[in-house]
Amino acid sequence: MRVVHTTGYAYEAPVTSSYNEVRLTPRGDNRQTVILNRVETQPASRAYRYTDYWGTAVTAFDLHAPHKELEVTGLSVVETEPFVAPEEKVGWDELAGNSIKDRFNEQLSFTDYVPRDEKFTAIAEELRQGLSPEEAVVAVSKWVHSEMSYVPGTTGVHTSAVEAWAAREGVCQDYAHLTLDILRTMGIPCRYVSGYLHPTRDAAIGDTVVGESHAWIEAWTGAWWGYDPTNVIAVNEQHVAVGIGRDYSDVPPLKGIYSGGRSTDLEVVVEITRLA
168 and 142 assigned to the same domain: yes
40 and 110 assigned to the same domain: no
98 and 69 assigned to the same domain: no
Tell me the backbone φ, ψ of residue 96, rounded to 5 degrees.
-80, -5
50 and 107 assigned to the same domain: no
259 and 182 assigned to the same domain: no
97 and 223 assigned to the same domain: yes
Rounded CA-CA distance 91/264 in Å is: 52
In a domain, 104, yes or no: yes
In a domain, 46, yes or no: yes
Kindly list the distances between the CA atom of residue 255 and the CA atoms of 108, 150, 243, in Å, as whole numbers in the listed order: 26, 25, 14
Give the count of alpha carbons within 13 A of 32, CB side only. 25
259 and 237 assigned to the same domain: no
73 and 98 assigned to the same domain: no
Beta bridge partners of 220: 224
Residue type, 81: E
Q: 208-210 and 224-228 as β-strands: parallel, antiparallel, unpaired? A: unpaired
In a domain, 267, yes or no: yes
Q: Could you tell me which residues come within 8 angstroms of residue 178 by beta carbon, excluding any fewer than 6 positions away?
A: 144, 148, 161, 164, 165, 170, 229
109 and 200 assigned to the same domain: yes
Tell me the backbone φ, ψ of residue 72, rounded to 5 degrees.
-120, 125
pTM above 0.85, yes or no: yes
Rounded CA-CA distance 135/45 in Å is: 48
Look up the domain containing 155 and give its range: 92-250
In a domain, 16, yes or no: yes
Q: How many domains does the chain have?
A: 2
Residue type, 44: A
Tell me the backbone φ, ψ of residue 97, rounded to 5 degrees.
-75, 155
103 and 175 assigned to the same domain: yes
Which candidate, 156, 106, 147, 99, places its Cα nearest to that of 123? 147
pLDDT tens-digit profile, the chain (276 residues): 999 999 999 999 999 999 999 999 999 998 999 999 999 999 999 999 999 999 999 999 999 999 999 999 999 999 998 877 778 899 999 999 999 999 999 999 999 999 999 999 999 999 999 999 999 999 999 999 999 999 999 999 899 999 999 999 999 999 999 999 999 999 999 999 999 999 988 889 999 999 889 999 999 999 999 999 999 999 999 999 999 999 999 999 999 999 998 888 889 999 999 998
111 and 232 assigned to the same domain: yes
